[in-house]
Amino acid sequence: MATALVTTLGATAHAQVTGDTFGTPDTLFSNASRTPVSYVTSYERDVSTGTWTQTLSYSLVRPRIVLSTSGDYAAVDMIGGRGLGTSSGDLGGKLSYRAHKNLYLNLDGTFNKVSSHDIVSESSQRRNRLKVSSQYNIAPIRCVTLRTLLSSEFQQDHTITVRPLGYVSARTYPVVNAAGDTVRTDTLFVSNQRDSTFMSGRQDGLSAQAEWKPKSWFSMLTDATGTRVLPKTKSYLRDFGHASDNSPGEHVTPTLFESPNDNELYRTKLTYTGLIVGAGTLTLSQGRSNQQFFEQLLRNQEHLSTDQRRAALHAERPVFRGTVFSLDGTLDRTLSQYALRTNRSSLVAGKSLHTNLTYLPSPYSRAALEFELDDHRNSRQLTGNGLNRTRFLQANGAHRLTQRLTIDAVGTVSLTSYLYEDSVLDQDNVRSYINVGGGYRVSSSCSTTVHFSRSEGHIVAIDASRSGNNNIQSTYQLDATLRLALGPTLRVGQNYLLNAVYQIYDLEAAESRNVLSRIRRIDTTVSDSIFSFATLQLIHNFLFRDSGSFTRSSPGADRGYSVGSETYQQSVSATVNLTPAAGI
């Protein structure tokens, strides 16, 4: 049984900019608007957790000024675990000023905190960013547009960690005099650690973009971005324990790191939008980065350098009326090198090809065929070097037979091969899936859908010495929904699910490991608007689950199901939404 309380003030609005948009787009200032302050808070408690969440948002758009801010906070207390809980919060804002037709000034800020604690340990991490930027756009000649963005970002990170080791570790610490000479060595039997790390720095960045569009059907876009920061990281590593004479002891190790971090990214994109032969884009990109950061678990400064290169091609062409064929191909290479955690270093080179044929003869019918090839080779790793190769095929379609009846189907099959340098580890993973069903609209107030699906996965270790775990996992599932309107305001919805999962091993010697699990579930939702200012929602969930062995009593006999465990679970929840006044 769960209870929840939700309070809402105002309205919420979200905006997102995607694609090739550079910096602050002109359209951001186009439509003057104002979204009132929205504050939403809720508290929910059940037998195991208590959760309190809050969100806040506000936005203002004027011909020259855009202001937006949003924040959220969530705290979770694990009632069943003594002293166990987490909390996280974010606060962000953006202020944009259009000083001139082609000049923009921006101020962006993000402030984040994440913390967790239990009965013996706790950790807290703050991450603050404040960025000032200016953008200038110019069109020096016809068909060419230049954009530049100059920015400075002030960064702060603060991490505090208190954790017991769970064991006692003997550690030695040299004691030095004022001249820097070691005069003795102390031994401390450490049982607890308390670390504090503070990073601060200013990241300067420069971005430039050039767009050339000589024809309406052809354009070329090139951009480059570079950032550099010299952060200072101060750490105080405290070890607590006892000395050889069992007296309490503490040792503090202060450290200071000044490590430059830099990033570079280059990209060129060619776009063709011909009316006869279709459309296509070619994108080439390259990025490099050098990052140094304090690794909490290793209690030392980690250095990560990456080098990424990528080429992507997209082409599409209409074949005949209602049919479009598209092709996507990529080549990529990523080199990652770690100084401390060398086991994470890797070189990944990949290539992929994806084709799609879509058929849309009318608004009532659709069909599609999709095929994908993907190869990724891992190297320079301590383990797992080799080739991962995937082949994927999918077909789907739907058709409305009548005004009331619609049918649809989808089927997929894939083969993933893992070819390692050590051939003993080679394995194949074959998967298939099919889903057939449809929907029927009985009346304007009643509709239903039914779908049946079957999926199967077969994991095969190629080497005989590892084939003992080869098995087939088959899943059969029936889904159904019912939507019913019993009046102008009363709505009833039900979801039904029947599920059976079989796991059968290939070898007869592993017959005793074969298992079967089954699920039956019914979810019912009833909602009604009691008055113009109140709505009520009741939700009932029923779940039955059992599992057990699915084996033969003797060779050649049919398999029988022996139930090992059964679980019944029901829950009921009620929600009341009140609107006592406009906006609340």
- With contact defined as beta carbons under 8 Å apart, do 284 and 331 qualify? no
Q: Which residues contact 481 (CB under 8 A, 6 or more apart)?
A: 448, 449, 493, 494, 495, 496
Tens digit of each residue's pLDDT (9 = 90 or more) over 423-448:
899 999 999 999 999 999 999 899 99
Helices and strands: H and E segment counts in the chain: 0, 27
Neighbours of 252 (CB within 10 A): 10
DSSP lists the bridge partners of residue 314 as 281, 328
Query: Strands, E, within 380-445: which ranges?
Result: 386-400, 405-420, 427-443
Q: Is the whole-model pTM more than 0.85? A: no
DSSP lists the bridge partners of residue 8 as 40
Q: Which amino acid is residue 563, in one-letter code?
A: V
pLDDT score for 21: 64
pLDDT band with cut points at 50, 70 and 90 for residue 7? very low
Tens digit of each residue's pLDDT (9 = 90 or more) over 196-232:
899 999 999 999 999 999 988 899 999 999 999 888 8
pLDDT score for 466: 87
- Lookup: tokens for 124: 């807290």
| More confident: 45 or 109 | 109
| More confident: 520 or 320 | 520
